[in-house]
Amino acid sequence: MKNVVVVGSQWGDEGKGKIVDWLSSEADVVVRFQGGHNAGHTLVIGEKVFKLRLLPSGIVRDGKISILGNGVVIDPWALLNEISEIKKQGINVTSENFMISETASLILPFHQEMDEIREDAAGKEKIGTTRRGIGPCYEDKVGRRSIRVMDLRSMTNLENRLENVLLHHNAIRKGLKKKIFEKEELKKKLLRIAPDILKYAKPVWLKIDEFKRDRKKILFEGAQGILLDVDHGTYPYVTSSNTVPAMASTGVGIGPDKIGYILGITKAYTTRVGSGPFPTELNDDIGEMLGSRGKEFGTVTARKRRCGWFDGVLVRQTIKVAGINGIALTKLDVLDELDEIKMCIKYDLNGKIMDYLPAAIEDQFKIKPIYKTFPGWRNNTKGVRNIKDLPDNAKKYIHAIEDFIGAKISSISTSPEREDTILIEDPFKY
C-alpha cells in the first residue's frame, strides 16, 4: 500500500474536493500540507453539500483522522467558525479525529488588512488575491517573526512574539499612513480562543511517523494548483506557497521517499480565478457555456472563474515539474453539448513556436495557443461509471489527452457526486 498525494495540475479549482473525498474512503488519514482558507472544496454527499475551506476533506467521513500540517497557515477564528458550521451539519470534530500542527503559523487580523491594502493600491497590477491574509502570513513565516500555534501556550511568549511581529507591521502601516495595530487588544483576543485551538494542537510530524509505522494509508491533500506555485507557476500571479507535491514532505514532516503515488487532478477544460496570463481563455459564448454548465464560481469567494480550452502544454509541463504518476480527469460532462473541442498543443510567441510556457510574464501574456481540434460527442456522459459506456468521441478525446501529456488517466469524474467516477487505476494499490 502506498500513500497518495493529491494536487491540482492547473490553476486550482480542478475538483480536488470530490476526488479527495472519494479517495478518503480508502485512506485512514487525510492531511492538508499547504495553503490557507483561501482555497475551498465543495463536497456533495447525497443531499448534503459541504463547503470546506481549511478542514481536510476527510473530516466528513467517520473513522478518518484529519490533519492540518505545519505548511498550512491558519486563521484561528476562521477555523473555529468552520468547525462550528460543519458541526451544525452533523459532523463530529474532536481532538481524536482532527489535529493541527503546533508549528503552523497563524493568520492574524493585520495580515488580512495588509492583503487588502496592497491589492487596493495595486490598481491594474493587482494579483487577484482572496484578501484573506495568506501572503502576508507566509512572509512573516519566512521572516521568522510569525506567531505559531505553540505560542498560544504561554502569555509571556505570546506577548514577546506579538511585539516582534508588530514592530515590523506597524512600521509599514505608519509609512502607508494607516492606523497602527494595538498589541494588547489582539493579545486578549488570542488568549480568549487559545484553549479552543490548543486542544487540537499536536506534534504532527511525530503522529505521521506513528501512522506510518502502523501502516496507515495517508492521503496528502494540496490546495490551489501547480500553476499557482510560487516557484513554478505564472509568477507573480501565484499563491504564496509551494503547491507542488514535494511540499507534502516539508509541509507535514515526512521523508520524500514516503510520499508514494502522486495524483494530479485535471479538468477536461481550463479555468482560472483572478488576474494573470491564460493562453486558452475564451471570451465568447463557448467560454460562457463552460462557466455556466461547470458552475464555475469559487467556493470561498464566489468569484466567477475564467474559462478556456484544455491547455495540454501547461498540463504536460506541470506533470514533469511535479512528478505526477496519474491524473484524475474531472468535469468531462461539461463538454457534452459541444460540436467540436480544442486542445492547445503548442504556443506561438511572435512567430517562435514553443512547446512549454516561457518564464517571463510579458511573454506569458503574449503567447497565442495553437490548437488541435476534436469532434464533440453531443451525448450525455453525466453519471457514467464505466469507461465502456462513454461515447466513442469522448474516449478519443480522453486518449488524446493521455498521449499528449505523457501521464496515465487513472480516473474520470462525470458529475459532482462522489459515486459518479470511472476508476481505471487505484492510486493506493498502484
pLDDT tens-digit profile of 289-331?
A: 999 999 898 655 667 899 999 999 999 999 999 999 999 999 9
C-alpha cell of residue 29? 488519514
Residue in 256, 197, 230, 241 with CA at minimum distance from that of residue 76: 197
pLDDT for the residue 430:
67
**Cα dihedral value 85, 91, 94, 99, nearest 10:** -80
Question: Is 339 labeled as catalytic in the residue annotation?
Answer: no
CA distance 390 to 392: 6
Greatest CA span in the chain, whole angstroms?
67
β-pairing, 41-45 with 48-52? antiparallel
CA distance 254 to 212: 9
Residue 118: HSE in the Cβ half-sphere, 13 Å Cα cutoff: 18
Please state, in angstroms and as integers, the Cα–Cα distance from residue 173 to each residue in 131, 135, 184, following that order: 17, 16, 17
Catalytic residue among 13, 21, 151, 420: 13
pLDDT for the residue 429:
80
pLDDT for the residue 379:
94
- The burial class, CB within 10 Å (0-12 / 13-18 / 19+), for 230 is middle
Phi, psi dihedrals of residue 236, rounded to the nearest 5°: -90, 5
Q: Hey, what amino acid is at 347?
A: Y
Per-residue pLDDT tens digits for 31-54: 999 999 876 777 777 778 888 889
Q: 426: Cβ–Cβ under 8 A, 6 or more apart, which residues?
A: 26, 410
Residue 384: HSE in the Cβ half-sphere, 13 Å Cα cutoff: 21
Given a contact cutoff of 8 angstroms between Cβ atoms, the answer to whether 34 and 222 are in contact is: yes
pLDDT for the residue 364:
97
Q: In DSSP terms, which residues pair with 74 in a beta bridge?
A: 106
Given a contact cutoff of 8 angstroms between Cβ atoms, the answer to whether 32 and 221 are in contact is: yes
Q: In DSSP terms, which residues pair with 73 in a beta bridge?
A: 105
CA distance 292 to 304: 10
Q: CA 400: distance to chain centroid?
A: 26
Residue in 224, 251, 189 with CA at minimum distance from that of residue 33: 251
CA distance 173 to 165: 12
Per-residue pLDDT tens digits for 362-406: 999 999 999 999 999 999 999 999 999 999 999 999 999 999 999
Q: 191: Cβ–Cβ under 8 A, 6 or more apart, which residues?
A: 152, 155, 158
Omega before 203 cis (within 30°)?
no
Question: Is 37 labeled as catalytic in the residue annotation?
Answer: no
Phi, psi dihedrals of residue 352, rounded to the nearest 5°: -90, 125
pLDDT for the residue 294:
92
> What's the whole-model pTM score?
0.91
- The burial class, CB within 10 Å (0-12 / 13-18 / 19+), for 62 is exposed
CA distance 212 to 73: 24
Percentage of the chain lying above the pLDDT 90 cut: 77
Residue in 104, 102, 55, 105 with CA at minimum distance from that of residue 203: 102
Gyration radius of the chain over CA positions: 22
pLDDT tens-digit profile, the chain (430 residues):
579 999 999 999 898 878 888 888 889 999 999 999 876 777 777 778 888 889 998 898 889 999 999 999 999 999 999 999 999 999 999 999 999 999 999 999 999 988 888 777 766 666 666 778 899 999 999 999 999 999 999 999 999 999 999 999 999 999 988 899 999 999 999 999 999 999 999 999 999 999 999 999 999 999 899 999 999 999 999 999 999 999 999 999 999 988 889 999 999 999 999 889 999 999 999 999 999 999 898 655 667 899 999 999 999 999 999 999 999 999 999 999 999 999 999 999 999 999 999 999 999 999 999 999 999 999 999 999 999 999 999 999 999 999 999 999 999 999 888 788 999 988 888 6
Q: 3: Cβ–Cβ under 8 A, 6 or more apart, which residues?
A: 217, 218, 219, 220, 258, 259, 260, 261
Residue in 224, 202, 214, 218 with CA at minimum distance from that of residue 254: 218
Given a contact cutoff of 8 angstroms between Cβ atoms, the answer to whether 270 and 10 are in contact is: yes
Q: CA 19: distance to chain centroid?
A: 12
Tallying the residues shown for the chain, one arrives at 430
CA distance 101 to 105: 9
Catalytic residue among 21, 37, 41, 169: 41
DSSP string of 303-350, one letter each residue: PBPEEE-EEHHHHHHHHHHHT--EEEEE-GGGGTT-SEEEEEEEEEET
Phi, psi dihedrals of residue 14, rounded to the nearest 5°: -85, -5
